[in-house]
A and B are shown apart, each in its own frame.
Chain A
Amino acid sequence: MPEMNTSSLPDLIFSILFFFMMVTTMREVTLKVKIDKPQGTQLEKLARKSATSFIYMGKPTSITDGTGTRVQINDKLLSNDEHFSNVVTQYILDEQGKIGDKDKPFFTVSLKVDHETPMGFITDLKQVLRKAYALKIVYSANKMTDQDD
C-alpha cells in the first residue's frame, strides 16, 4: 500500500490555527464570582471588543471571600470600603490608557452582573463610572429566544 502524502498537513493545520486566532479573543480573567447573567431578547452584539473593559459582580465562588456581593476587576475582588471608588476609577484610567486613540471614543464598560445582585451595588458602581467619564456601559446578558414570534 502506498504511503499517503502528508506534506500539506502542516499548511492545513496552520490555516486552522490562523482561523482560530482571528475569530477568538484572549480569555479575559478567571472568575472569582458566580455570574448567572440575566436573559434578554433585544440584545446587541458588542461592537469593539478591543475598546471594552469588563467589571464583574456577584457572590464569591469561594467561601473564604464571604457571601456578600463583591465586585471583581481583572483578577482581584474589591472590598466594599472607602477605597472602592478610587480603585474603580484607577482601573478605568488604566484601561483607557491601553486602547488606541482611534478607539478612545468607543470606550465601553461591560457590566457582567449576576441577576440576583441588588440594584444598590449597581447604582453605586454607575455613579463611580459617571464620575470617571466612562459613560458608555453595556449590561451584559444572554440571548433568550423571543417566544411570541
Chain B
Amino acid sequence: MGKKRKVPGLNSSSTADISFILLIFFLITTSMDTDQGLARTLPRPPEDENQQNEKKVKERNILNIRINKDNYIMIATLTNEDFIKSVKEITEKAKRFIVNAENDPNLPEVVEKDFDLLGRMRVTPDHVISVQTDRGTSYGVYFQVQDALVKAYNEVRNDLAKEKFGCTYEQCTEKQRAAIRKARPMMISEAEPKRYGKAL
C-alpha cells in the first residue's frame, strides 16, 4: 500500500568520540602490571595450640639458615657453621646440600629410588631447608635468601633435566617436569617462628 518510507541514516560521527572517552576511562582505571613473586604454601595450623606435632627430622637432614636482627646470615649443617657474605654462596651451599652427590655423612641421607621417566636415581627425599629469622630481620634480606634458595632448586632441576632429557627444565614436557619435581622436591620450611637471635 504505502510508499516505502526512507529511514534517514543515523548520524554516527560522534561514536568515535564516545569510544575515545570509554578508552581513556579504561586506561585510567585499570593497570597492566602483572604481579610477580615467590609463591609459598604455609603449613596447616596446628590442631591443638599446645601440642605441636612437629615431625622429627634427623639433624643431618636439616640445613639451617639463620638471619639475625642485624641481617647477618648464617648457614649451619651438622658439622659446620658459616657466616655468609653474599647470597650467591647460599645458592652454592644449598645446591650441594640438596643433591649430596658425594654421599657425605654430614649432608642429607641419600636413598636410591625408582622414578617414572628418570629410572633409578639417588635422591635426598627427607632434606629440609629451614629459614629462621629474628623479629628485627629486614624483609628484603629474608626475600633475597628465599630467592637464592629457589634459584638453587631451579639450577638443580635444570642440571637433572639436562642430564636425563638433554633439555633445560623449561623446555621439558609437562610429564618430564613433573618427574623432575618429584625427584627434586622443594623443601623450604615455613616453620613456626622462633625467638632466635637474642643471644647474637
Contact = CB atoms under 8 A, between A and B. Distances in A.
Interface in B4-57: 12-13, 15-16, 18-20, 22-23, 26-27, 29-32, 34-45
A116 B27 contact: no
A10 B151 contact: no
The number of chain A residues touching the other chain, given as a range, is 35 or more
A34 interface: no
Q: Interface of chain B, helix or strand or loop or mixed?
A: mixed
Contacts, number: 156
Contacts of A143: 36
A10 B139 CA distance: 49
Contact of B40 (A9, A25, A26, A138): A138
A25 to B, nearest CB: 6
B196 to A, nearest CB: 11
Interface size class of B (residues with CB under 8 A): 35 or more
Nearest to B39: A138
A15 B142 CA distance: 45
Interface stretch (A39-47, A59-67, A74-82, A93-101): A39-47
A3 B68 CA distance: 73
Contact of B138 (A16, A26, A118): A118
Interface of A: 6-7, 9-10, 13-14, 16-17, 20-21, 23-28, 38, 40-46, 49, 52, 108, 110-111, 113-120, 122-123, 126-127, 129-131, 133-143, 148
Given A20-B27, A43-B36, A127-B193, 20 more contacts: A20-B26, A21-B30, A24-B30, A24-B31, A28-B31, A42-B154, A43-B37, A45-B34, A113-B139, A116-B138, A116-B139, A118-B137, A119-B136, A123-B193, A131-B45, A133-B45, A135-B41, A136-B39, A140-B36, A142-B36
